[in-house]
Structure 1
Amino acid sequence: MAFRTIIAFIRSEREARRVIGAARLIASSSERTHIIGLYTIPSPIVYADPTGFADTTLFEAHEQRHKENSQAIAALFKAKMAKGTISHEFRIVRSESSSPSAGVTQSALRADIIIAGQPDPDDPDSVNDVTDPLVMESGRPVLFVPYKTALPEKIDRVVVAFNGKREASRAAFDSLPLLLKAEGVDIVWVDPKKSIDPNVDIPGTPLSDALRRHGVNVNPHIIESHGESTDKILRRRIAENNASLFVMGAYSQSRLKEWVFGGVTSSIMADMPCLTLMSR
């Protein structure tokens, strides 16, 4: 089992290095694996001048900037990928909205997984946050590459956050190609509700058993929070395991609740401790 078609969504030269590196990291050595480098040109927001006409200079500047950016990224992508034997191509597409994510979601219909960089506040071209629309609208798992931490040499230790909900279960199965290659996978469930199934002694056991049947070396862990936030508990587990990948379902509660009360998804998106795969 492997990801065969991988989209590497790239917005800047600075972001390109980590996104391309992550794509090569998860790509199978099989000749059937194909990496698509993708640059999207968002629709320009053009304002009218004092006479009521559209200011064409803004449009021209927008086009020139993205032309130069896309050409530089395409050259970097091709140079990096030429060092290996993985099949690849680079595409430049136009987004129907002012957000570049719209162009990605259309391309994602023909892919297994999307790789994208976590927004970097020090990189003007990748500072815009497109994490939400990628996860919510693409219909594909998204592997986010943090800007603070270095890429691991291999994905050997994985932490999977589980809460008994659909999003978490989907993320676990979406990440199977990576879980199968890992030396160890910990499924962590914080404060699980008591199961109504009398045949289930330990919460999370059915998921662990299902993954184990695929050949995943998995261990379930039940943790009582005693008032500590789930986010802190998961981060501590990731640090203790020196995990190279964190897997979670995105927005198991509504985005409004996350915005008002805070939540694990929002916290992880803002500060990613390692490579993070999200599904919804």
Structure 2
Amino acid sequence: MSYKTILVHVDESNRSDLRVRIAAEIAKAENAHLIGAAVTGVSRFIYQDGNISASDPNLAIHLKFLRERAEKAVTGFKNIAEKYGVTSYENVISNDEAGGGIGLMARYSDLVVLGQTNRDEPSPSVLSDFPEYIVMNSGRPTLIIPYASDVTTVAKRPLISWDASRESTRAVTDAIPLLKRADLVQVAIFNPSSKPDAHGEQPGADIALFLARHDIKVEVSVHKTSTDIGNAILSLSHDLDSDMLVMGGYGHSRFREMIMGGVTRTILESMTIPVLMSH
């Protein structure tokens, strides 16, 4: 199993170059094709009611500005891809908002790389629930890069938050190409007694064996906590000096609004290391 197509979202934010660097390093290691995708931020549905026309001079000026901003983002992507020696790459500009444009392209990719929402640096082309939307709707593993910390390595010391759910299973399986290159994978299980049938007599034994068969070096730890599990995961990742968290993403959509589970919401809001999520 390997990643052969990696999609990275690029934009005008301060952390876009970091996302591209991480995506480029993974693409080079996996010998994968790398796609840098920018969006104009205007939904493709805007013209469907017939009330708005691209021939409107005021709209045309605004669309030109949005297009030029996207072109600047993909130029930065190309420079970094070349710098890091990625042999197969392309850049794409989607005339759409981020959720729609990136979400569609994600379905033809093995891994999506994007940034955590920074509410102090709102983007005119990206809605605040963009990461959640991609996790829940793309059907692909999503590697989310934090905005508040410098990332020097990814997946050398990963931490898996394992709860034996379908979502967690999907995330671990999706992360295998990264986990195989890790020095040591830590598997953490919180409050296994709450799901005894799923974890079995020895919580963590089955997932450790599964990973070992992929030649992945793994250690398992079991934790009991009465506090918020999301914060407990973040605290443990700090104590272990982890450089990536792997976990299932939980939630559902109501119209366009994303309703996320408590642990997922905590991680997405407070993460300090890259998080690979699958739903």
Matched-pair identity in %: 26
Kindly indicate whether residue 258 of structure 2 is the aligned counterpart of residue 234 of structure 1: no
- The aligned residue for residue 107 of structure 2 is 109
Q: What is the rounded CA distance, in whole Å, between the counterparts of 1:132 and 1:246 in structure 2?
A: 16
Residue 231 of structure 1: CA displacement? 1.4
Gaps of 5+ in 2: none
Distance in 2, Cα, partners of 1:249 & 1:205: 19
CA offsets per residue over residues 174-222 of structure 1, 9 Å max, x none? 0001111111111111111353489x43112211110111011111211
Q: Could you state the TM-score of these two structures normalised by the residue count of structure 2?
A: 0.86
Alpha-carbon distance change, 18 to 5 in structure 1, aligned in 2, over 3 angstroms: same
Which residue of structure 2 aligns with residue 90 of structure 1? 91
Match of 1:50 in 2: none
Q: CA RMSD in A?
A: 2.6
**Structure 1: any 5+ residue segments left out of the alignment?**
48-52
Distance 1:133 1:238 in 2: 25
Amino acid at match of 1:215: D
CA drift of 1:54 comes to 5.2
SS of 1:39's equivalent in the other structure is strand
CA deviation map 1:1-44 (0-9, x unaligned): 432210011122523211101102322435x4111000123335
Deviation at 1:119, TM superposition (A): 1.7
**Aligned partner of residue 14 in structure 2, secondary structure:** helix
More displaced 10-residue stretch of structure 1: 159-168 or 20-29: 20-29
**Equivalents in 2 of 1:213, 1:113: separation in Å?**
23
Q: Give the conservation status (yes or no) of the 8 Å contact 1:4–1:28.
A: no
Task: State the match for 2:208 in structure 1.
Answer: 208
DSSP 3-state at the match of 1:27:
helix
Letter in 2 for 1:275: P
Instruction: Summarize the Cα distance change of 1:221–1:12 in structure 2 as closer, same or farther, 3 Å threshold.
Output: same
**CA distance in structure 1 between the aligned counterparts of 2:198 and 2:155, rounded to whole angstroms:** 34
Q: Deviations over 1:21-77 (max 9, x none)?
A: 1102322435x4111000123335979xxxxx7594552343122112111112111
- 1:41-120 counterparts in 2 under 5 A? 41-43=40-42, 56=56, 59-86=59-86, 87-95=88-96, 99-120=97-118
How do residues 133-152 of structure 1 correspond to structure 2 at under 5 angstroms?
A: 133-152=133-152
1:27-38 alignment to 2 at 5 Å?
27-29=27-29, 32-38=31-37
Are the structure 2 counterparts of residues 151 and 159 from structure 1 closer, same or farther at C-alpha, using a change threshold of 3 Å?
A: same
Matched residue type, 2:219: N
Give TM-score, length-normalised by structure 1: 0.86
Show the 5 A alignment for 1:263-274: 263-274=262-273
Q: How many residues align?
A: 266
Superposed displacement of residue 271, structure 1? 1.7
- SS state of the match for residue 62, structure 1? helix
SS in 2 for 1:239: helix
Greater shift, 9-18 or 56-65, is seen at: 56-65
Q: Is the 8 A contact 1:13 1:76 kept in 2?
A: no
Letter in 1 for 2:99: S
CA distance in 2, matches of 1:182, 1:91: 31
Contact 2:169 2:248 in 1 (8 A): yes
Q: Distance in 2 between matches of 1:176 and 1:238?
A: 19
Q: Which amino acid aligns with 1:11?
A: D
C-alpha distance in structure 2 between counterparts of 1:188 and 1:90, whole Å: 38
SS at match of 2:213: helix
Q: How does 1:130-169 map to 2 (within 5 A)?
A: 130-169=130-169
In 2: Cα distance, 1:29 partner to 1:204 partner:
29
Q: Tell me how far apart the structure 2 counterparts of residues 266 and 36 of structure 1 sit (CA, whole Å).
A: 28
Give the Cα separation in 1 of the matches to 2:59 and 2:15: 25
